[in-house]
């Protein structure tokens, strides 16, 4: 079965690149999600006034990649204990979030967040990842799409 989910873990360039490498991921798009401004620009999102996070919309085949495996990988590729930042990038647009489309996805997200809290990655910190229903989201500008691939990384 084909599913979709939106994940935010800092700047979408790296997150999109890493997620797109997983077997079972069919498509990814850099998007703005979780905010209140319709059709935001990158500059608006960076102003930290739209409520949007830089995120990645993922379409995947859950017969080849389970949501549990996808979310485990997501928690391993970013620091989910950093509140409204990732490394040097600061602001709510860089927050850690899972935007789910179904109740089943919400349940799995809550379960993996709880399990990851006990791992070596997060044992001594607190995971601050938001788990929220997916609402309207907006595709980021073309120059953000598959940025690393375009740059030869």
CA–CA dist 88, 4 (Å, integer): 29
- Cβ-contact 76, 83 below 8 angstroms: no
The beta-carbon contacts of 47-50 under 8 Å, at least 24 apart in sequence, are: 48/91, 48/92, 48/93, 50/93
Q: Catalytic: 11?
A: yes
Residue in the structure block whose two tokens are 């935007």: 99
From the list 34, 33, 28, the residue with the least C-alpha distance to 13 is 28
Residue tagged active-site, from 5, 11, 53, 70: 11
Q: Tokens 């079965």 label which residue?
A: 1
Active site residues: 11
């Amino acid at each position: 079965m084909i599913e979709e989910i939106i994940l935010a873990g800092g700047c979408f360039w790296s997150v999109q690149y890493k997620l797109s490498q997983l077997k079972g991921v069919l498509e990814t798009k850099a998007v703005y999600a979780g905010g209140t401004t319709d059709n935001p620009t990158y500059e608006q999102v960076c102003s930290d006034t739209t409520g949007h996070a830089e995120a990645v919309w993922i379409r995947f085949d859950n017969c080849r990649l389970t949501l549990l495996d996808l979310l485990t990988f997501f928690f391993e590729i970013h620091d989910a204990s950093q509140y409204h930042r990732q490394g040097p990038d600061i602001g709510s647009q860089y927050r850690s979030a899972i935007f789910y489309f179904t109740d089943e996805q919400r349940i799995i997200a809550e379960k993996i967040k709880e399990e990851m809290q006990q791992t070596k990655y997060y044992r001594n910190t607190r995971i601050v990842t938001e788990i929220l229903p997916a609402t309207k989201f907006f595709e980021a500008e073309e120059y953000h799409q598959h940025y690393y691939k375009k740059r030869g990384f």
